[in-house]
């Protein structure tokens, strides 16, 4: 398939995972494969749902014996890409794609010089039984420039990203450095590494993903430790950019 969607799964709330997968099945663009990487789940509900999903013709289930963390699972997904895969999509197990997401991103790739493409997101609280609270959509820059990278710590929504498969050949995979992974900033480290390597990074103006906010999110770590690590990475990035002038 032309587009391979990579999604680590670990003891995911069954209803969240059902909604996430349904949003992929409902895409207007049909040339995709969903690679679910079970990162050592032990929850029986999660395991039961995964055992059913693996029978879908466009879903591949990769099972890891033990939990290695999201960066390790994402890297493992890259070992299972289709031979004809041209684009890799990052998608979290608890978010929801808008139906036209893949189609609009693919169309942008086909008409623009770009390697790495995000979209805006709609952060949302889901309150049982059926209430939703929507927050302001992100307003990330349409083109990520050197000035953006030097002055901002958040300029791409990682769960929205579609990137050329060749980016991984040029830049490498996600870091598994313990301190970075434990504090949930492997995505920031990766995107800054991409920028330094000359990867062209853009964002669509439209919000094409509903980002689910909840207490068990992997991204909710110690904010002070994570912030300091981000600042350290940003400082090193600035130094490298300034040396290249």
C-beta atoms surrounding 133 within 10 Å: 10
Query: Would you state the pLDDT for residue 217?
Result: 55
Q: For residue 86, what are its two tokens?
A: 């041209």
Query: Would you state the pLDDT for residue 127?
Result: 79
Q: 192 CB contacts (<8 Å, ≥6 apart)?
A: 149, 233, 234, 237
Domain of 237, in residue numbers: 3-243
Query: Would you state the pLDDT for residue 115?
Result: 98
Start-to-end CA distance of the chain, whole Å, equals 41
Q: 161 CB contacts (<8 Å, ≥6 apart)?
A: 89, 90, 116, 117, 118
Q: 48 CB contacts (<8 Å, ≥6 apart)?
A: 14
Query: Would you state the pLDDT for residue 215?
Result: 58
User: Hey, which residues does 5 pair with through a beta bridge?
Assistant: 34, 89
Q: DSSP letter at 136?
A: P
CATH of the domain at 174: 3.90.550.10
Give the SS3 label for residue 236: helix
Residue located via tokens 């300034």: 242
Q: What is the largest CA-CA distance in the chain?
A: 55
Among 232, 224, 135, residue whose Cα is nearest residue 189: 232
Q: For residue 192, what are its two tokens?
A: 């800054």
Residue 136: HSE in the Cβ half-sphere, 13 Å Cα cutoff: 3
Distance of CA 121 to the CA centre of its chain: 12
Residue-by-residue pLDDT tens, the chain, 245 positions? 999 999 999 999 999 999 999 999 999 999 999 999 999 999 999 999 999 999 999 999 999 999 999 999 999 999 999 999 999 999 999 999 999 999 999 999 999 999 999 999 999 998 787 788 888 999 999 999 999 999 999 999 999 999 999 999 999 999 999 999 999 999 999 999 999 999 999 999 999 999 998 655 555 468 899 999 999 999 999 999 998 76
Number of helices (H) and strands (E) in the chain: give both, helices first.
9, 9
Split into its structural domains, the chain has a count of 1
């Amino acid at each position: 398939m032309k587009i391979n969607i990579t999604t680590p799964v670990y003891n995911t709330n069954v209803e969240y995972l059902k909604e996430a997968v349904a949003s992929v099945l409902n895409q207007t663009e049909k040339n995709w494969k969903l690679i679910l990487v079970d990162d050592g789940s032990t929850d029986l509900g999660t395991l039961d749902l995964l055992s059913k999903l693996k029978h879908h013709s466009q879903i591949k289930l990769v099972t890891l014996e033990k939990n290695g963390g999201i960066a390790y699972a994402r890297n493992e997904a890259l070992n299972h890409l289709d031979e004809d895969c041209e684009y890799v999509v990052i998608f979290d197990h608890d978010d929801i794609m808008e139906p036209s997401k893949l189609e609009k991103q693919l169309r942008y790739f086909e008409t623009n010089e770009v390697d790495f493409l995000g979209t805006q997101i709609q952060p949302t609280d889901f309150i049982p039984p059926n209430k939703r609270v929507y927050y302001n959509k992100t307003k990330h820059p349409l083109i990520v420039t050197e000035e953006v990278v030097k002055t901002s710590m958040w300029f791409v929504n990682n769960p929205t990203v579609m990137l050329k498969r060749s980016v991984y050949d040029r830049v490498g995979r996600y870091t598994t450095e313990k301190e970075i992974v434990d504090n949930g900033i492997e995505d920031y480290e990766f995107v800054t590494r991409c920028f330094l390597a000359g990867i062209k990074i853009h964002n669509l103006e439209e919000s094409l993903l509903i980002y689910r906010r909840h207490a068990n999110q992997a991204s909710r770590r110690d904010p002070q430790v994570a912030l300091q690590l981000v600042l350290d990475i940003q400082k090193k990035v600035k130094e490298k950019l300034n040396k290249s002038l």
